[in-house]
Amino acid sequence: MDTVAACGDVCRNVMCSAIPQNQHLHDQLIHSSKVISEHLLPSTTAYHEIWLNDLEEVKREGGPKKIKIGGDALVDAEPLYGPAYLPRKYKVVIALPPYNDVDVWAHDVGLIAIVENNEIVGYNVLVGGGMGTTHNNTKTYPRTGSMFGYVAYDKVHLVCEKIMLVQRDFGDRKNRKHARLKYTIDDMGVDVYKGKVEDLLGWKFEEPRPFRIDSNIDYFGWTKDENGNNHYTCFIENGRIEDTQEKPHKLGLKKIAQYMVKENVGEFRLTGNQHILISRIPDEHLSTIKSMLAEYKLDNLNYSQLRLSSSSCVAFPTCGLAMAEAERYLPVLVSKLEEELEKLGLRNDSVVMRMTGCPNGCARPWLAEVALVGKSYGFYNLMLGGSYIGDRVNKCFKTNIGW
């Protein structure tokens, strides 16, 4: 995560799989993420001018000076972004088969790691995914990424750059609802877009390598990596960390963080499905962490698979774009559905269910097996037919369903 270029019409933070079972492969994913992110950072000094003190002047004057806002900024050179930056935001994710916990088909660029002899040798490259739509505007739509082919591990940052440059030069700058890469690639055609990327690279993509994806959910509980360190995935419903009588999660995670800092062990990882991993815990600290998880009820995984596989956006009262409830209502809806699942013997069957308060798609509802997309307060479009691995857009089954 980087605070530079974390918003705006630039390459956003690069997200990779949180995979805890294989630390060597996770380290390689992190390396690729950092290389891509740093390679695509804007070159402007405006960020530093606005937010950072002149450290030399601070030392010289014996204290902080007034933070400078705007003023005598230089005109920066932006070799990648140019003076006008991109038509819209640009997102990159990296998945490690057989897991798709980042929804690799949902983003501008999705990279699928290819592993040989426990080494990531390269990536299959998906281009043109995107989720946001506008109700009643058929010119806006969700799209899954198109396969361009395979690229070697050490060339992936260059591929992400050239894909971005084609979008920079050919994306729609007049209509922001038509400015995402998914529309550019459909307007140009996949083969034409791919050809322009290859022209910039000076070489062609290889044929995609075989891979297998099994799911796009998180797997909870304890696991041990090849180095003997332990990792625990906590279920955080809809990503909301809070302190309640039933779930004092916020206090618990704070206590665990304080312990990890004091003992210089472990780390936290955030997953693409809104959950938290407590990672890299040596065996000698395992019993302490387990007791803290139990004390603050972070070890509770006694939920239906539907609840464990569900997610939502924040919606009301946090988001100004919300048209309907999502985060606060989805747990209520799941509870109602669990009663029926128990009767049908389906409590332990995983179904990917997502809810959003508007069609912008922050919880990626368009790829879920079952999804509810807010239309107005208390009313939703019911979407069905996405795939369990997240590679197929669902379809609207019924509109304006009430609570």
Asked whether the predicted pLDDT for residue 76 surpasses 90, the reply is no
Indicate whether 145 and 278 sit together in one domain: no
Q: 282-333, pLDDT tens digit by residue?
A: 999 999 999 999 999 999 999 999 999 999 999 999 999 999 999 999 999 9
Q: What is the mean pLDDT of residues 166-180?
A: 98
Indicate whether 251 and 388 sit together in one domain: no
CATH number for the domain harbouring residue 337: 3.30.413.10
Q: Which residues are within 8 A (CB) of 361 and not within 5 positions of it... i.e. 6 or more apart?
A: 131, 132, 133, 142, 373
Q: What is the mean pLDDT of residues 39-66?
A: 66
Q: What is the pLDDT of residue 52?
A: 63
Cross-strand pairs, 314: none
Cross-strand pairs, 233: 221, 277
Q: What is the mean pLDDT of residues 80-102?
A: 96
Task: Tell me the whole-structure pTM to 2 decimals.
Answer: 0.93
Structural domain range at position 236: 221-295
CB contact at 8 A, 51 and 6:
no
Residue 380 inside a domain? The answer is: yes
Total structural domains within the chain: 3
Domain stop point among 266, 295, 324: 295
Indicate whether 318 and 226 sit together in one domain: no
Indicate whether 176 and 280 sit together in one domain: no
Q: 218-277, pLDDT tens digit by residue?
A: 999 999 999 999 999 999 999 999 999 999 999 999 999 999 999 999 999 999 999 999
CATH number for the domain harbouring residue 279: 3.90.480.10
CB contact at 8 A, 238 and 327:
yes
Residue 163 inside a domain? The answer is: yes
Indicate whether 246 and 359 sit together in one domain: no
Indicate whether 123 and 92 sit together in one domain: yes
Indicate whether 175 and 236 sit together in one domain: no
Indicate whether 20 and 137 sit together in one domain: yes
